[in-house]
Amino acid sequence: MKLKIGLPKGSLQESTFRLFRRAGFQVTLGSSRSLYPKFDDPEIEAILIRAQEMAPYVAKGVLDVGLTGLDWIRETGAKVHEVAELNYAKGGLGAVRWVLAVPEDSRVRRAEDLAGKRVATELVRVSRDFFRRRGVRVDLEFSWGSTEAKPPTLADAIVELTETGSSLRANNLRIVETVLESRTKLIANPASWGSARKRRKIETINLLLQAALAAEDKVGLKMNLPRAKLAAVRRILPAMHTPTVATLADEGWIAIEVIIDERVVRHIIPELRRAGASGIVEYPLNKVVL
């Protein structure tokens, strides 16, 4: 059995490769121009295509499974099975937004203020639905790129993708509203999902990817301490679950181990030390299966 998987080419490519590697797959490209990544799994056959095109190819069965954004599933209207949400983007964890933006000095403060105006976007179908729900008639046109450069000469407003808003600010644009929040989705062809063998493989891939994402901002922490100090140390630790406690050879001493958010470690290590912990070790994680 070969599972044909589509990986997003472009802005998500490197973060997707990094995610699969953290999940335990070796993914390599023969050259920077190659569109066929090689997996160290003989059951996986991969191809790089644009996220915008992914859902239709999965829907038609050209691909069994693919990774693309909710935005492009909605935009294409492709009939696919949404296996899971993968909470990552180009810049790291989190969502991206399609926003309605206008020049800084524009009088537009809400979507209704654009009635009869020109709006440029690559996300035409989703944008049309947005304005229809708001009861606003606009002249909506497809943008082939460089959308931020179009206001005010070529368009009165744009609907554009952003993670941080920095590109919009650099082009003197102001966000008016969020049109759609999008996260990466693992999608499957309905017939492939209906195949027991392929479904099991897709579920395995999803499990490993989710485990890699769960570990992204977490670390392991272990330490030794006198048993009498356990209650005090447990009050400090924001553990995912009850910490693992093991008895040491030295009488009266124990070792505990937890998984915690990396951002809190620097704050709690001094507290743990003052509470009686010693031999404190922080270590990175590749996968956390919840």
Task: Report the CATH number that the domain containing residue 115 is assigned in CATH.
Answer: 3.40.190.10
81 and 208 co-located in one domain:
yes
At residue 225, the pLDDT reads: 95
86 and 195 co-located in one domain:
yes
Structural domain tally of the chain? 3
Phi–psi pair at 240, nearest 5 degrees: -65, -40
At residue 93, the pLDDT reads: 58
111 and 149 co-located in one domain:
yes
**Which residues span the domain enclosing 134?**
96-181
225 and 83 co-located in one domain:
no
The amino acid at 87: N
Residue 289 in any domain: the answer is no
Q: Identify which of 60, 32, 67 has the alpha carbon closest to the alpha carbon of residue 46.
A: 67
Per-residue pLDDT of the chain (290 residues; tens, 9 = 90+): 899 999 999 888 999 999 999 999 999 988 778 899 999 999 999 999 999 999 999 999 999 999 999 999 999 999 999 999 998 876 555 688 999 999 999 999 999 999 999 999 999 999 999 999 999 999 999 999 889 999 999 999 999 999 888 889 999 999 999 999 999 999 999 999 999 999 999 999 999 999 999 998 899 999 999 999 999 998 898 765 678 899 998 889 999 999 999 999 999 999 999 999 999 999 999 998 87
72 and 108 co-located in one domain:
no
86 and 194 co-located in one domain:
yes
13 and 81 co-located in one domain:
yes
153 and 104 co-located in one domain:
yes
Question: What's the sign of the alpha-carbon dihedral 132, 133, 137, 139?
Answer: negative
46 and 101 co-located in one domain:
no
104 and 231 co-located in one domain:
no
159 and 270 co-located in one domain:
no
Residue 199 in any domain: the answer is yes
Question: What's the sign of the alpha-carbon dihedral 162, 175, 55, 286?
Answer: positive
Q: How far apart are CA 147 and CA 159, in angstroms?
A: 8
47 and 77 co-located in one domain:
yes
Residue 266 belongs to a domain with what CATH number? 3.30.70.120
Triad 32, 213, 240: Cα angle to 5° = 160
Burial class (CB in 10 A: 0-12, 13-18, 19+), 67: buried
pTM of full prediction above 0.95: no
At residue 239, the pLDDT reads: 64
Phi-psi region of 265 (alpha: psi -120 to 50; beta: other; left: phi over 0): alpha
Q: How far apart are CA 88 and CA 15, in angstroms?
A: 8
